[in-house]
């Protein structure tokens, strides 16, 4: 390994659901010299599935089938893949399958093992299918909750990042009524604190954080809702302000996202899934990145799903994966050069 390569972080890239676009976007991303120069990419998945996806996408790139990370040769012009050999050759693209769900679970499990051992400095995940995951008997709402359990982390937060906006979520994959019931000052405060910690570590000395209300117009002094803002959000904001942090809210979400989009805020705290996801996705799926905040390992992800409707056709867009790798590299500790 050259000195340049030895100084790069190793990123464990999970292949995601093998029936989705994960294999294809990985091959497309790693076929680009600029992407390979970002990091030492170690794919956790199935070598033959990657080869098939590469052919379907018109990518002329070899895939090295590895049993152990120590076998990886990052100087070689080939995708380095820890090959778990869990994907049948005849597994169709674009269909929910418990076989695919089980494989996706095992890819993540192996990536956590590798990252926890310090072999990889971060994990970057391609999309999985929640339905396939459940069909395989793994009852998790998504990557975030799965990674939290595998790492023994009691509570994590989802942060979405685009070039113009950062959004951290108080609740994610639960129904709206359940989300409102779950929101309480302690949870809101912990989410703000996790976001504040990420931003300060990224070099923003005193980040300006805007906190969304639940109701339209932030409840309009009690005219809308049942006093949720005063009961569930305001105490957390005041506690953060008492620490000297620049935290403001609860603010009307529509106005806050406009202000944040023009640069007035470093981060927005969204109360529920669609409140935060909507603005990010309007800015473009190809630029959005999902970061799990609070894990003992760095984890980033594409901000899109398995796209079963186009999986296997060779047309999936790899730009969100490339951006997720960039974010992982930016957050990852650097190994000592040898």
Assess if residue 193 is contained within a domain: yes
Q: Determine contact, residues 176/157, Cβ cutoff 8 Å.
A: no
CATH of the domain at 118: 3.40.718.10
**One domain for residues 9 and 130:** yes
pLDDT at 335: 56
pLDDT at 214: 97
Nearest to 38, CA basis, from 117, 102, 163, 122 = 122
Nearest to 286, CA basis, from 322, 313, 315, 314 = 322
Lookup: tokens for 329: 């590299």
User: Tell me: the pLDDT tens digits for 295-334?
Assistant: 998 899 998 899 999 999 999 999 989 999 998 998 876 5
Q: Determine contact, residues 136/102, Cβ cutoff 8 Å.
A: yes
> What is the model's pTM?
0.82
User: Tell me: the pLDDT tens digits for 217-240?
Assistant: 987 877 888 899 999 999 999 999
- Helix ranges restricted to H, the chain: 3-6, 22-30, 33-36, 47-56, 98-116, 130-135, 143-150, 176-182, 185-201, 228, 234-242, 253-261, 273-282, 319-331
pLDDT at 290: 87
Q: Which of 242, 258, 282 is the last residue of a domain?
A: 282
Question: Judging by beta carbons within 10 Å of its beta carbon (0-12, 13-18, 19+), is residue 165 exposed, middle or buried?
Answer: buried
Lookup: tokens for 71: 């076998």
**One domain for residues 26 and 56:** yes
**One domain for residues 63 and 16:** yes
Assess if residue 287 is contained within a domain: no
3-state SS class at 28: helix
Residue 289 falls in which region: left (phi positive, over 0), alpha (psi -120 to 50) or beta: beta
Domain that holds residue 277: 164-282
Query: DSSP secondary structure string, 144-168?
Result: HHHHHHHTT-S--EEEEEETTEEEE
- Strand-pair partners of 159: 168, 291
Nearby residues of 8 by Cβ (< 8 Å), 6 or more positions away: 38, 39, 40, 74, 329, 335
Assess if residue 227 is contained within a domain: yes
Q: Determine contact, residues 82/32, Cβ cutoff 8 Å.
A: no
Location of structure tokens 């799926």:
285
**One domain for residues 335 and 254:** no
pLDDT at 338: 42
**One domain for residues 230 and 303:** no
Q: Determine contact, residues 72/83, Cβ cutoff 8 Å.
A: no
**One domain for residues 200 and 258:** yes
**One domain for residues 107 and 151:** yes
Q: Which of 256, 282, 308 is the last residue of a domain?
A: 282
Q: How many CB atoms lie within 10 A of CB 275?
A: 23
**One domain for residues 173 and 305:** no
**One domain for residues 28 and 130:** yes
Q: What's the Rg (C-alpha) of the chain? A: 20
pLDDT at 285: 61
**One domain for residues 308 and 270:** no
Q: What is the mean pLDDT of each run of 10 residues along the chain (338 residues)?
A: 68 98 98 94 98 96 97 96 97 97 98 96 95 95 88 92 92 94 98 93 90 91 87 98 98 97 96 94 76 90 92 94 91 60
Query: What element of type H or E holds 334?
Result: none
Distance CA 295, CA 244 (A): 25
**One domain for residues 210 and 278:** yes
Assess if residue 288 is contained within a domain: no
Say how many domains are in the chain: 2
**One domain for residues 32 and 105:** yes
Distance CA 287, CA 327 (A): 11
Assess if residue 115 is contained within a domain: yes
pLDDT at 25: 97
Lookup: tokens for 204: 């923003």
Lookup: tokens for 118: 């310090």
Location of structure tokens 């009961």:
231
Lookup: tokens for 165: 């906006």
Lookup: tokens for 108: 């993540």
């Amino acid at each position: 390994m050259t000195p340049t390569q030895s100084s790069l972080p190793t990123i464990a890239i999970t292949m995601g659901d093998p029936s989705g676009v994960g294999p294809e976007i990985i091959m497309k991303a790693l076929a680009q010299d600029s992407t390979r120069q970002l990091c030492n990419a170690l794919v956790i998945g199935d070598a033959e599935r990657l080869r098939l996806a590469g052919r379907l996408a018109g990518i002329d790139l070899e895939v090295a089938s590895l049993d152990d990370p120590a076998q990886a040769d990052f100087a070689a012009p080939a995708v380095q893949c820890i090959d778990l050999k869990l994907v049948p050759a005849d597994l169709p693209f674009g269909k929910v399958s418990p076989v695919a769900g089980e494989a996706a679970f095992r890819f993540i499990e192996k990536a956590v093992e590798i990252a926890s051992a310090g072999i990889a400095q971060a994990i970057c995940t391609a999309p999985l299918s929640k339905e396939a995951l459940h069909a395989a008997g793994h009852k998790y709402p998504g990557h975030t909750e799965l990674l939290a359990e595998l790492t023994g982390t009691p509570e994590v937060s989802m942060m979405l990042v685009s070039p113009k906006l950062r959004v951290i979520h108080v609740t994610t994959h639960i129904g709206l009524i359940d989300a409102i019931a779950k929101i309480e000052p302690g949870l809101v405060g912990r989410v703000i604190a996790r976001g504040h910690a990420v931003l300060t570590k990224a070099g923003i000395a005193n980040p300006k954080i805007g906190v969304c209300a639940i109701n339209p117009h932030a409840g309009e002094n009690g005219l809308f809702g049942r006093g949720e803002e005063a009961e569930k959000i305001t105490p957390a904001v005041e506690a953060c302000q008492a620490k000297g942090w620049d935290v403001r809210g609860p603010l009307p979400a529509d106005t806050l996202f406009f202000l944040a989009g023009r640069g007035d805020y470093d981060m927005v705290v969204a109360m529920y899934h669609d409140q935060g996801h909507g603005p990010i996705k309007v800015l473009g799926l190809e630029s959005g990145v999902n970061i799990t905040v609070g894990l003992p390992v760095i984890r980033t992800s594409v901000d899109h799903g398995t796209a079963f409707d186009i999986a296997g056709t060779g047309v999936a867009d790899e730009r969100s994966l490339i951006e997720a790798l960039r974010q992982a590299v930016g957050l990852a500790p650097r190994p000592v050069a040898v």
